[in-house]
Structure 1
Amino acid sequence: MSQTTSAAPSTGTEAKAAEATMVEHWIDGASVAGDSERTGPVYNPARGVEQKRVRFASTDDVDTAVQAAARAFPGWRDTSIAKRQQIMFTFRELLNSRTDELAAILTSEHGKVLSDAAGEIARGLEVVELACAMPGYTKGEHSENVSTGIDVYSTKQPLGVVGIISPFNFPAMVPLWFFPLAIATGNTVVLKPSEKDPSAAIWLARLMQEAGLPDGVLNVVHGDKVAVDALLEHPTVRAISFVGSTPIAKYIYETAARNGKRVQALGGAKNHMLVLPDADLDLAADAAVNAGFGSAGERCMAVSVVLAVDTIADEFVEKVAERMSRLTIGDGTRGCDMGPLITREHRDKVAGYLDVAVDDGASLVVDGRGVEIDGEPDGFWLGPTLVDKVPTSSKVYRDEIFGPVLSVVRVDGYEEGVGVINESPYGNGTAIFTNDGGAARRFQREVTVGMIGINVPIPVPVAYHSFGGWKDSLFGDAKAYGPRGFDFYTQEKAITSRWLDPSHGGLNLGFPQHD
């Protein structure tokens, strides 16, 4: 996934142009510059030029946002469920009616094509709709007369100020996984989006204000490790939600937990797709292309490894390569199938794996470095790439490349395929393509992965289930959204109650002392 890095200021005409468009923080319901002079570039990846600059928060800036959230918490916590739900319904309607506006922001700063951007927003909307159902997920329980005249019941209450640190690859969807549930349950939020594409977070915060959210309930600060560490170490922040690469997820988890916070830290992935000989190879090839190259492969649930059984591997690779030849690569506003990568540095890093693959003995079937582009030549382009016969010892197999590189590893059958998956340190998502129900049932029981698709390449759960992997793809046990999301943002109180019975002279007669 992504991690934050600081960037040197631009110079010359690009810097002057960027001065006109500075992405500021959003604190206590207003745009705030803060006290830091550090900024970073925001590129248009399809053009390869800097289009904006973004403020990098200082520790004091983060503290200002946290204090604003802390001041807003008592009033928001005490706001009725009905009112909180009404605001969330209004936000849902506003977001649904202005999807095109937000999609254009995503395409401009991330580079994904408009259809991918719209799909991202649709999945985020599902969680907003789930947040509207908050009353049903946050009810307590009641047991009457557990002992003579004694009742026990529970309530769920918000935590307080919570922090969210989100990645570049889904600048709208991932924040929407978290802040609607946190806010609906009565918490206040400080969101730190990726500095690479920060404008979506500001747009969403403004829309929440338009929906009636009180100032200070949702705040946005930008920046790099300085801002991240300030959230992780701030004593007022009660919980941290994070999505990003595995090394950073581990750092987030350990640092936040050491500072006494709840943590949900979702890490990286290397998602496998096992294709058995009885599978519909046309369906499997379509799935591999869509799941491998959608959003330029920059998504944590992308299929990056296909485990093809030897007997069908040649035919399968041929079908995938043929479909890849029909893809159009270019500016996401032009109706292309795939856009650029997020930055020039990331593009170069991903492209560097192709030489590694050849050196390690793999076969480069489709080389994305020579793709024809429908866009500006300086964009951060790398076309879909297909690498066959990849050894599992290669860095191309082991690393989370996070780009449009699909590796084919050949296996001799089901048993070897499951063994390869289970030996991976990652356990985010996986898929099997087969028409054998018994094999599919075995697969879902035996594979050590958190989200499983059966003839479905990207098994992202719907909003009313929870999202999260196993092994190095999830640190802690707190999954995102769904029932686990409501649990994460609330704390339970158990209450044991006895009321004296006036019909017995105020005495609770017959109550055993040992009860």
Structure 2
Amino acid sequence: MTVIAHWIDNTIAPGSSGNSAPVTNPATGAVTGSVALASVQDARAVIDAAAAAFPDWRDSSLAKRTAILFAFRELLNARKHELAEIITAEHGKVLSDALGEVSRGQEVVEFACGIAHLLKGGMTENASTNVDVTSIRQPLGPVAIISPFNFPAMVPMWFFPIAIATGNTVVLKPSEKVPSASLWIAALWAEAGLPAGVFNVLQGDKTAVDELLTNPAIKAVSFVGSTPIAQYVYSTGTSHGKRVQALGGAKNHAIVLPDADLDLAADAMVNAGFGSAGERCMAISALVVVGDIADELVGKIAERTRTLKTGDGTKNSDMGPLVTKAHRDKVASYVDAG
């Protein structure tokens, strides 16, 4: 069985905790791997690698950083189908959804390739009498990303290209449900020429998260996930002196007015509700219909859902499985309650 381990100093690191969790293919239920769950000591080893790499990376020229970012962008663009297949195998979303996720993440990589002009400071002469004001922008140090299961590539790529381009080092803690994409990305960074220790992967559960939130070497944390955990991440991280960006779960509503194009509205609702199996922050959780068009709209939505092909995301399905049996049972409970 494949052991999905940590990534430290541009190499696989199995860790020493002895704890692990199964990784499954949601389409088949088959256990495809075992992900290492870090101990405190494992987490500190990953953080220490990021801290050790920071001084040299901070002092690297913008030209060198940009060259590595461009190399990473080219490798990602050439091999993004590989990453999409990994996402589908562990998350369950169909390949087209997975490929779209990678493309959305790549947009931020491309933005980071042009980051140099945003790193400029400023100089104001005689802001007050004989007083000049100068501002500079400097990297913080090692930063952490705690990412959710639903976008194992896109959400981390919203953060780490910017962090790396601006001279910080990174520790990525992916969801233990979908751990393999992070290692693929780490290997791609190494191939692009990123120095050892600049991008690291810490696999694990709450033990790993707590060390990232409390270890003084970590200067900032970005999190995406459920609202209760976002509150925990924010309160714990800020109480330990860190900058924290904690994005909680979204619940979205759509309102359809009586003069709406109902075919267009029905198409939009099906795409919003069933795309990525509904496992995304922009999924529509509630539809509010105004006036006497409700029955007609419900009928159009029902008609469209009957044609959806659900199944293995690699086999020309419209919607893949939910990520775990527990998640499937939770969704089914809503149907039963209704």
- 1:163 alignment partner AA: A
Does the CA contact (< 8 Å) of 2:150 and 2:279 recur in 1? yes
1:242 match:
223
Counterpart of 1:282 (choices 260, 263, 287) is: 263
2:153 match:
172
The whole-number CA distance in structure 2 between the counterparts of 1:23 and 1:50 is 12
Query: For the pair shown, which has the larger CA radius of gyration, 1 or 2?
Result: 1
Tell me the secondary structure at the aligned position of residue 190 of structure 1.
strand
1:265 match:
246
Tell me if 1:193 matches 2:174.
yes
Does the CA contact (< 8 Å) of 2:257 and 2:291 recur in 1? no
The whole-number CA distance in structure 2 between the counterparts of 1:100 and 1:146 is 53
The whole-number CA distance in structure 2 between the counterparts of 1:334 and 1:264 is 38
Counterpart of 2:185 (choices 175, 199, 204) is: 204
Counterpart of 1:317 (choices 298, 306, 309) is: 298
2:44 match:
63
2:94 match:
113
Tell me the secondary structure at the aligned position of residue 310 of structure 1.
coil
The whole-number CA distance in structure 2 between the counterparts of 1:37 and 1:147 is 62
Tell me the secondary structure at the aligned position of residue 186 of structure 1.
coil
Moved more, 100-109 or 276-285: 276-285
2:323 match:
342
- 1:140 alignment partner AA: G
The whole-number CA distance in structure 2 between the counterparts of 1:250 and 1:276 is 35
Superposed structure 1 runs of 4+ greater than 3 Å apart: 147-150
The whole-number CA distance in structure 2 between the counterparts of 1:195 and 1:77 is 30
Tell me the secondary structure at the aligned position of residue 292 of structure 2.
helix
Tell me if 1:54 matches 2:42.
no
The alpha-carbon deviation at position 310 of structure 1 amounts to 2.7
Tell me if 1:79 matches 2:60.
yes
RMSD (Å) for aligned C-alpha atoms: 1.0
1:354 match:
335
Tell me the secondary structure at the aligned position of residue 31 of structure 1.
strand
The alpha-carbon deviation at position 261 of structure 1 amounts to 0.5
| Residues 334-360 of structure 1: CA deviation (Å, up to 9, x unaligned) | 111000011111111211121112xxx
Tell me if 1:155 matches 2:143.
no
The whole-number CA distance in structure 2 between the counterparts of 1:309 and 1:127 is 38
The alpha-carbon deviation at position 266 of structure 1 amounts to 0.4
Question: What TM-score, normalized by structure 1, do the two folds share?
Answer: 0.65
| Residues 308-343 of structure 1: CA deviation (Å, up to 9, x unaligned) | 113211111111111111110011111110000111
The whole-number CA distance in structure 2 between the counterparts of 1:149 and 1:296 is 62
Where in structure 1 are there 5+ consecutive unaligned residues?
1-17, 358-515
The whole-number CA distance in structure 1 between the counterparts of 2:277 and 2:196 is 37
Question: What TM-score, normalized by structure 2, do the two folds share?
Answer: 0.98
The whole-number CA distance in structure 2 between the counterparts of 1:197 and 1:113 is 15
The whole-number CA distance in structure 1 between the counterparts of 2:257 and 2:315 is 37
- 1:36 alignment partner AA: S
| Residues 465-485 of structure 1: CA deviation (Å, up to 9, x unaligned) | xxxxxxxxxxxxxxxxxxxxx
- 1:323 alignment partner AA: R
- 1:190 alignment partner AA: V
Tell me if 1:131 matches 2:77.
no
The whole-number CA distance in structure 1 between the counterparts of 2:281 and 2:70 is 29
2:289 match:
308
The alpha-carbon deviation at position 148 of structure 1 amounts to 5.3
1:408 match:
none
The whole-number CA distance in structure 2 between the counterparts of 1:107 and 1:355 is 28
Tell me the secondary structure at the aligned position of residue 157 of structure 1.
coil
The alpha-carbon deviation at position 147 of structure 1 amounts to 4.4
The whole-number CA distance in structure 1 between the counterparts of 2:129 and 2:253 is 57
What are the within-5 Å matches in structure 2 for residues 27-38 of structure 1? 27-38=8-19
Tell me the secondary structure at the aligned position of residue 293 of structure 2.
helix
- 2:203 alignment partner AA: H
The whole-number CA distance in structure 2 between the counterparts of 1:327 and 1:355 is 21
1:434 match:
none
Tell me if 1:141 matches 2:127.
no
Does the CA contact (< 8 Å) of 2:141 and 2:218 recur in 1? yes
The whole-number CA distance in structure 2 between the counterparts of 1:139 and 1:318 is 56
What are the within-5 Å matches in structure 2 for residues 435-450 of structure 1? none
Where in structure 2 are there 5+ consecutive unaligned residues?
none
The alpha-carbon deviation at position 226 of structure 1 amounts to 0.6
Give 1 or 2: higher helix fraction.
2
The whole-number CA distance in structure 2 between the counterparts of 1:258 and 1:147 is 37
| Residues 22-46 of structure 1: CA deviation (Å, up to 9, x unaligned) | 0010011110011110000000000
The alpha-carbon deviation at position 150 of structure 1 amounts to 4.0
The whole-number CA distance in structure 1 between the counterparts of 2:280 and 2:235 is 24
